[in-house]
Structure 1
Amino acid sequence: MKWLHLSDIHFNPSKDGTDSLYLRNRLLDFLKQKQISVDKIFLTGDFRDASCQENTVEAAKDIANYILTLANNVGIDNSNNILLVPGNHDLTRNFDRRQEVVGQNKREYNPGQGIFKDLDILTDSFEFYKKVIAEFRGNDYAENLFNNVYKVNPHSFTVLDEMNILQLNTELIAGETISYDGSSRVLDDGTLSVGTKYVINALSLMEYSKKPVIVLAHRGLDLLNSFERKKLLNIFKDFNVCMYLCGHSHDLWCDESYPIPQVTVGCIKQQDGVRSGFTIGGYDECSNKVVIEAYSWENDRWGEYSHFSSTGYTLTLDISDKVILDEEEFRNKIKIVINGKVQEFVGKVIDMKHSINHGAMISTVEGSLIFKIKNSDFTKYIKFNDKFILSQNVWKVIGVDNTDKYTTIVTCEKELINRSNDDMENEIANKNCIVK
C-alpha cells in the first residue's frame, strides 16, 4: 500500500502569487515525470486561506479540481481513495455560538471523560470543509456526514485491507479569539483537545480487523493540551496506532520523541519562512515496515529533501510491534525436518504463484511461495534448502527473513521432482515407444 501525503495547500489562485502557482503546477509535472503511483492520497487540512478567502462553493470547486488533477497524475481515478481531515482555515470562527461554546469547553473539558458540550455547533462550523467533501463525495454524502455521523463522533475512520486510518479532527475547539489592548488574537496552540472518548469509540470500531492504525490530523501532538496529549498517547498505544501524520506547522520533519513517530509535512504554497514539501509513504505487510520519502521545493524545483531524517530523504520504520497476529489467518501448517526431528509450524500464505513452461520437448511446472510463520522455539533453525509439503507440492526454502520479533518469512520455490531416474517410469516409457 502506497500513499501521497499533502497538507496546507491554502489554494487561492486569484490572490496567490506567481511563485505559489508555479510551485503547484510543477508539482503536477514532477509527480507525472517520476511516474509516482499510489493507492491513497492523505490530505491533512487547510484547503483555503481564511485570511483572504471567502467560504464559497467556487473556492471549494477550485481546490477539488486541483486535487483531482493531482490524483489522476498518481494513478487515482476514484475520489473514495482521497482521505482528508479539516484544518483551522476550514472552519468559520464566528459561526453561531462557536466562540462561546469553545470557551466553555476549554474551561470545563475533562480528559478523563473526553466529551464536548454542544458538539453539533463545533462540527457544523466547518462549513468550508463540508463544501470540499461535497465536491469529492457528493452533497448527499456530506449532508449525512455532518447531520448524522459527526453528531455522534467528530472523528471518522477508514478500514483498509492493509491498515486502518483514523481521521482525527484536531480543530474542534480551535479558533478562540480574545481581545487584548485594542487588538484581537487567536488562542490555540497548547490549549486544544480532541475528545478522548470519541477517539476510543472510533478506534474500537476498527479493532476487529487487527490492523495497525495510521492517524491523519491537521495539528501535531505537541500543540495539544498536555493532559490531552498524554491521555491520547496511552490510547494510541493500546489500539496499535503506528504513525501520526499531520501538517499545520508549514515545515517538514519526523519527530520520533513520542512513542509513535509523527511525520509533519510542509505546505503547498510559496511563502517566506515556510518549507513546501510532501511525502510518499508505503507499507509492506510482508515485512511490517513503513518507508517514507520526503520531497521539498527548493531553487524553483521539486527534489528529494535530504535533511528529512538521519539517513537522508528516506525514513524506514519497523512497526512489527503494532501488528496483532490473527489466529484465524495463521491456520496453514507445514512440517520441516529440523536437526533430525519433524517440527510443525503454523502460518499463512502471503503469495503463491504457479506457472507451466511449455518447452520444445517437455513442459515443466514452476512456482514461488512466500509464507509467514508464527515464531516458535524452532523457527530460528529454518535454513536454506529446507523442504516441506504444502498444497500437494514440495517446496524448497531459498530465503529466510527472521528480523521480525513475532514472525518469520520464508521465500520458497517449487521443488521439481526428477523422474529421469525412476526405473519403473522409464520401463513404461520404453515399452510405449515406436521405433521406425
Structure 2
Amino acid sequence: MTVHRDRAMVIDRSPQATYAPEQLGRTQALTPEGYLLCTAVRVARTGAMLYRPDEVPEVQPAPNGQMIVVTRDADVLFDPEALASFNGKPVTDDHPPALLSERDARKYQVGVTLNPRRGEGADSEFLVADLLITDAPMIAKILAKKKREISLGYDAEVEEVKPGLGRQARIIGNHTAIVDRGRAGSTCAITDKENDMAKRKMSLMDRVRAAFRDNDETALESALADASEVLGTGEPDGDEGGVHVHIHNGTREEPAPAAVLTDDGDPNEARFKALEDSLGGIMARLDEMAANKVEPVAPVVETTDEDPEEEVEADRSEVMDAQAKAEIIFPGFKTGTMDGTPKRRALTEMRRDVLARAFNDSARRAVIEPILANTDLAKAKPAQVRVLFDAAAAVAKVHNTRPRAITAIPQGPMTAAKMQEQIAARRQAKR
C-alpha cells in the first residue's frame, strides 16, 4: 500500500501508528471510516489539585476546614503501569456514573484512548494521548468546539501526608471523558494549534473566573502572573494596550475608552486605573443583583433529552449519596475516581444499572424484587428511578445489618481443626 504523505496523516511517534487520510489540522484528521483522530491531547497533568473534604475521605481535613490539596507526582502519573492502564480504554461523552466494565461500556463509549505517553518539551508535565472518536454526534461537538475539555476516570490510591494534604500513590485508568468542564480546566483539552494562543488571548477576567470555577490554584496563579507581566511591560494582550473586561448583563453599553497617558506620562498607571474601573463595575453589578435578587441568566443549551434537569451537572453531595447507596444495594459496586463531576443523566443511568444488577443477582433479588414489582427500568422516568433506588437502599440497609440465622448445627465432636474451619466460615460470611 502506498501512503501519500502530502495528503495523509500517519502518527508514528509511538509503536502503534494510526492511519488518517484526511488531515483537518495539525493534530486532527479523519480516517477512511470518518472517525476523528485527535493526537497528542493533554489528558492529565502533574501538580496539586484541589478537592472538597467529602471528595477525598482518605485525607483528614485541615483544622481550618479548607479545601484538601492532593498532589500527583510525575513518578505516579507516568508510571509504566499507569500509562498502560489507559491504553485502549473507552472515550466517553461526559463521565459515566461509575467505573466502566464489560457490562456497560458500549452504553457510554464514543471512542478509544490510544498511545498514552508523557508529553515532550512544553508538554513534559502532561500525560498526552491520541483519541480516536468513533461517534458521529461527539465528532460534531468537537469540530464545532462545543465540547473539548478532558477529564480522566480512574481508580486511585491516595495517601495522607498530613491533614489537608494528600498524595496520589497509584493510578489505574478506566476511561477518558470529554466534558464541558474538567478539573484541569482548559489546559487539558482537545486543540488544533501549535501552541495554546487562545489562553493568551483570553481576557484576564475570563481566566480568573475559569480558575475559580475549576478550583485550579495553578491556573489562577498563572493568570495573575500574566496580568502582572502585561501591566508591567506594556505587552499587548489581544488588543493594543489597556485591559478590557466585558460584563454581559443584558444591556448594550458603549465600549470603555482605551487607556491613555496620565499627566506624569506613566502608561501603567492608566492600565491600573482601567482595571480598577472594570472591577468596580463588576462589584456594582453584583451589589445590584444581590439587592434586587436578580439571578444571572444561564446560557441556553440545546438538547434532545426530554428532561433538561438531566443535563445539569450533579452536586457533589448528590453523587456521594448515590455512590454510597449503590454500595448498599449491590455490595462491591465500584465508582472509582474522576477528574470531574458527572451529569444527573449519568447518575440516573447508574441507578438503573445498580437496580438491574441487584435484580439479576440471585442473592439480592429477594430484597429488590418487591420494590421493583413489574417496573420496566429501561422505560422508567428519572424521578421514578430515583424513588425506586432510594427505597431499595433503605430496604437493603436493613437486610444487610440483620443478624443471620443459624442454618446448621455442628455435628460430632469438636476438634481444633473444625473450630478453625467454622471461624473462617463466619468471617467469610461477614464480608
Normalised-by-shorter TM-score class: under 0.3
Task: Report which of the two has the higher share of helix.
Answer: 2
TM-score by structure 1 length?
0.25
Task: Report which of the two has the higher share of strand.
Answer: 1
TM-score by structure 2 length?
0.25
